[in-house]
Amino acid sequence: MDISTKTTDAPPPTPQPGVTEQKRNARGASRPGDRIFLGLSRGSGILLLVIMAAIAVFLTYRASLAISKDHGNFLTTFEWNTNLTPPTFGIAVLAYGTVISSIIAMVIAVPVAVAIALFLTHYAPRRLSGPIAYVIDLLAAVPSIVYGLWGALILVPHMTGLYGWLNDYLGWTGLFSWDEGAPRAMLTVGILLAIMILPIITNVSREVFRQVPRMHEEAALALGATRWEVVRMAVLPFGRSGVISASMLGLGRALGETMAVATVLSPDYVIHLSLLNPGGGTFAQNIASKFGEATEQGRDALIASGLVLFVITLLVNGAARAIIARRKEYSGANA
Amino acid sequence: MSTAAVTDKRPSSLRGASLPKWSPWAIAAGSVVVAVAIGLIGGLSSKIQWGLIAAILFVLGTYGIAARVEGRRQAKDRVATSLVWVAFLLAVIPLVSLVWTTVSRGVKVLDVYFLTHSMGVVADSEPGGGIYHAIIGSLEQVGLATVIGAPVGILTAIYLVEYGRGKLAKSVTFFVDVMTGIPSIVAGLFILSLMLIFEMQPFGFAGSLALAILMMPVVVRSTEEMLKLVPNELREASLALGVPKWRTILKVVLPTSIGGITTGVMLAIARIAGETAPVLLLVFGNPFINNNPFEGAQASLPLYIYQQYAQSAGANAAYDRAWAASLTLIAFVMILNLVARGIARWKAPKTGR
């Protein structure tokens, strides 16, 4: 008796949970404070969407202005002369340079980063691995312009020996022939980009390797596996998708990197087969170097090339996110 | 050399023969000696080649010796171990070099004079001058970007965690992910396209807008993670007392997670403080002190570094200034990072364990 009166008098008296939920929401939303707060937070979510849409729309608009005046073919012309009266420009050289430098960076950075991540999670003495991981975290925060300055003033002079050696022994391939210029070429750019994206790939891979179920490793050990066999049979298969998405995040950075490439590369609007001869350019580098002297027409052309870069990075990051989404636990967005 | 040591102490018949603990060091020392000898005899000038030869010798030597004594599988394991170590050491070299050069060359001209004077009357190739104007520009641009970016980011995260269900929340989540990957120069070009349409000249606030765009997704992501850590019981307790949802969020959820949110915002600030590309396009750089971010070109620290490097035609004085400015910038970013991590540790997430 006592109990039943209490239940009927209680403020949310309805027995069905679905209905309670609805009522509470309805009452919550009707309070002015709640409505304002919901409006504000939903508004900023919508603002983000609007910004993304605006980026796409405005870049496309200015790019279409430029491309409609372009005398050459935007995709295949090997020239960037935006000051001619019918301007002639195309992104072929930039696309090539962007892809090549990123490929070099990935070829170097991914194996090394995976090795470092393994080192930190499975090989290093425990007392060392904590501080090292911390330092690598901090290195991810070093601004790209500092990497650029270091690359141009320290790395470039140190590359001469390597370039000569590659030219002597691998010059016959054509890829590594060198005409004794300053080593401000795609290979140096690739190496610098590799150094720059190393921390982020390492960080994300490390998080993944750390989540390998302890049981898998112990099972392998119990069967008599060596440490390397544990890594190969338990750790790497578990972490594969994570490593792939980490690499894609790194690739996204390498594709869009501006200042480090602009300081190191000596640009030239040609495509060399050799990776050691100065020349070529990347989308981002070209924008930074050509911007100062560009007229409004030239700026529109640069915006057009930026639009291409935007689309490429969207695709790469989209793919990385799709892979991550399959395993929700390790999002690399904060790394 | 090591076989003798092995045959001496074989602990039990269950374990196979194994190399003594010092053997990797011995092999490493041996391969370095041989590499130096090869380098000297072959007349190889580059130290990098010596290092490479030593590394190859070390890997081959380890495999050979271990395969003889311990068997194939152990040998593979040892090679993998040494490869992992070599990869780590190789990667450490450039990173240590970067930090070392910045510090050792940065302290040359870094003093109070450098921090309190501008480049107004100093030619790029002459010694003297400083970064006062760049510090002012950086602080104003980054400050304004934070004022815009941080609230929008935090509110969006609140929406996603506390309210977000359905299509809108899903698409916001997706585009936040996509937005984290936008190259900084593209954000700069977006604002530039607006400035071209409205025929505006470069000014500091335009840079702030681009930086804010770069900052928002980072803040959203980290704040989201922190809000998710707040135990649901806290929210339910507050709601059960009849507190409206918005006051629950402001008085219970946010205070619980404020440490983590601050950390996220500071890390985002550290990230945008080093961005050069958008500032180059939108703020343009200015050797004089300009305190007004809403009118006229300004300088900024990263842009200053780039211009000292690119516009000085190799003058040593300019390079010194570039290094000193780099050191200042790195110090700023690192202090932000360390403080942020300190806050994160101090206000560690209060999850009921």
A226 in contact with chain B, both atoms CB, cutoff 8 A: yes
The reply to whether A57 and A95 lie within a common domain is no
**Is position A74 within any domain?**
no
Radius of gyration (C-alpha) of chain A in whole angstroms: 27
Q: Is residue A274 part of a domain?
A: yes
Domain stop point among A24, A50, A69: A69
Per-residue pLDDT reduced to its tens digit, B37-49: 888 887 766 676 7
Contact B269, B139 (CB under 8 A): no
Task: Return d(Cα A291, Cα B46) in angstroms, integer.
Answer: 38
Are B261 and B108 spatial neighbours (Cβ–Cβ below 8 Å)? no
Number of independent structural domains in chain A: 2
Q: Are residues A20 and A85 in the same domain?
A: no
CATH code assigned at A230: 1.10.3720.10
Q: pLDDT by residue (tens digit) across B75-119?
A: 888 888 888 888 888 888 888 899 999 999 999 889 999 999 888
Q: Each residue of B17-65: pLDDT tens digit?
A: 777 878 888 888 888 888 888 888 877 666 767 777 887 888 888 888 8
Question: What's the pTM value of the predicted model, to 2 decimals?
Answer: 0.86
Distances from the Cα of A61 to the Cα of A46, A66, A303, A304, B144, angstroms: 22, 9, 10, 9, 28
Whether A133 and A181 share a structural domain: yes
Specify the pLDDT at position A105: 96
Determine, yes or no, domain membership for A156: yes
Q: Is the residue at A281 inside a domain?
A: yes
Is B222 in Cβ contact with A146 (below 8 Å)?
no
Same domain assignment for residues A157 and A257:
yes
**Hey, how many other C-beta atoms are within 10 angstroms of the C-beta on B207?**
33
A43 shares its domain with A158: no
Domains located in chain B, CATH noted: 3-106 (no CATH), 116-346 (1.10.3720.10)
Q: Identify the domain boundary among A40, A69, A98.
A: A69
**Domain assignment of residue A51, yes or no:** yes
CB pairs under 8 A between A and B: 280
CB contact under 8 Å between A150 and B178, yes or no, is: no
| B297 interaction partners in chain A (CB closer than 8 Å) | none
Do A35 and A162 fall within a single domain? no
> Are B163 and A112 in contact (CB < 8 Å)?
no
Residue numbers of A between 92 and 121 with CB closer than 8 Å to B: 111-113, 115-116, 118-119
Q: What is the pLDDT of residue B15?
A: 61
- Cβ-based contacts of B175 with chain A (< 8 Å): 48-49, 52
Model pLDDT, residue B13: 56
Instruction: Give chain A's length.
Output: 335
Phi, psi of A81 (to 5 degrees): -115, 90
- Taking the Cβ of residue B190 and every Cβ of chain A, the question of whether any pair is shorter than 8 Å is answered with yes
Q: Of B98, B102, B306, which is closest to A259 when you measure between CB atoms?
A: B306
Specify the DSSP element, H or E, that contains B148.
Answer: helix B132-158
For chain A, say whether B159 makes contact (Cβ under 8 Å).
yes
Residue of A nearest to B102 (CA): A150
What are the chain A neighbours of B171 within 8 Å (beta carbons)?
49
Round the CA-based radius of gyration of chain B to a whole number and report it. 28
- pLDDT given at position A7: 40
- Same domain for A47 and A90? no
Provide the residue type at A244 as one letter: I
Angle at A255 between CA B172 and CA A133, to 5 degrees: 80
- B182 and A331: CB-CB below 8 Å? no
Instruction: For residues A246 and A316, state if they share a domain.
Output: yes
CB contact under 8 A, B196 and A28: no
- What percentage of chain B reaches a pLDDT higher than 90? 48
Q: Are B271 and A119 a contacting pair at CB < 8 A?
A: no
Question: Does residue A239 share a domain with residue A114?
Answer: yes
So what's the pLDDT on residue A15? 44
For A87, the token pair is: 């301007």
- Same domain? For A251 and A281 the reply is yes
Give the domain extent around A48. Answer: 2-69
Q: Is residue A292 part of a domain?
A: yes
Residue B132 C-alpha, separation from nearest chain A C-alpha, in angstroms: 19
pLDDT tens-digit profile of B238-258? 999 999 999 999 999 999 898
The alpha carbon of B201 is separated from its chain's Cα centroid by a whole number of angstroms, namely 32
Q: What are the structure tokens assigned to A11, written together?
A: 């403020």
Q: Do A199 and A329 reside in the same domain of the chain? A: yes
Q: Verify whether the Cβ–Cβ distance B309 to A309 is below 8 Å.
A: no
Q: Do A258 and B277 touch (CB under 8 A)?
A: yes
According to the model, what pLDDT value does residue A22 have? 46
Q: Which residues of B touch A58 (CB under 8 A)?
A: 190, 193-194, 197
**Residue among A161, A229, A306 whose CB faces B185 most closely:** A306
User: How near does any CA of chain A get to the CA of B111, in Å?
Assistant: 20
| Residues in B touching A183 (Cβ below 8 Å) | none
How far is A52 from B268, CA to CA, in rounded Å?
A: 19
- Report CB contact under 8 Å: A142, B270: no
Read off the pLDDT band of B161 (50, 70, 90).
Answer: very high
Q: Residue A333: its chain B contacts at CB < 8 A? A: 177, 180, 217-218, 221
For residue A42, being part of any structural domain is answered with yes
Six-digit token string for A126: 């425990």
Query: Do A28 and A104 fall within a single domain?
Result: no
Distance from C-alpha of B102 to C-alpha of B331, rounded to nearest angstrom: 10
Average pLDDT score over residue span B292-313: 91
Single out the residue in A26, A42, A69 at which a domain terminates.
A69
CA distance A151 to A153: 6
Q: Could you write out the three-class secondary structure of chain A?
A: CHHHHHHHHCCCCCCCHHHHHHHHHHHHHHCHHHHHHHHHHHHHHHHHHHHHHHHHHHHHHHHHHHHHHCCCCCCCCCCEECCCCCCEECCHHHHHHHHHHHHHHHHHHHHHHHHHHHHHHHHCCHHHHHHHHHHHHHHCCCCHHHHHHHHHHHHHHHHHHHHHHHHHHHHHHCCCCCCCCCCCCHHHHHHHHHHHHHHHHHHHHHHHHHCCCHHHHHHHHHCCCCHHHHHHHHHHHHHHHHHHHHHHHHHHHHHHCCHHHHHHCCCECCCCCCCCCCCECCHHHHHHHHHCCCCHHHHHHHHHHHHHHHHHHHHHHHHHHHHHHHCCCCCHHHC
Q: Which residues 118-177 in chain A show a CB within 8 A of chain B?
A: 118-119, 123-124, 137-139, 141-150, 152-155, 158, 161-162, 164-165
Rounded average pLDDT per 10-residue block, chain A, 335 residues? 40 44 49 89 94 95 90 85 84 92 95 93 87 83 93 91 85 85 90 93 90 89 91 90 87 92 89 86 92 88 94 88 65 40
Question: Are B216 and B156 a contacting pair, CB within 8 Å?
Answer: yes
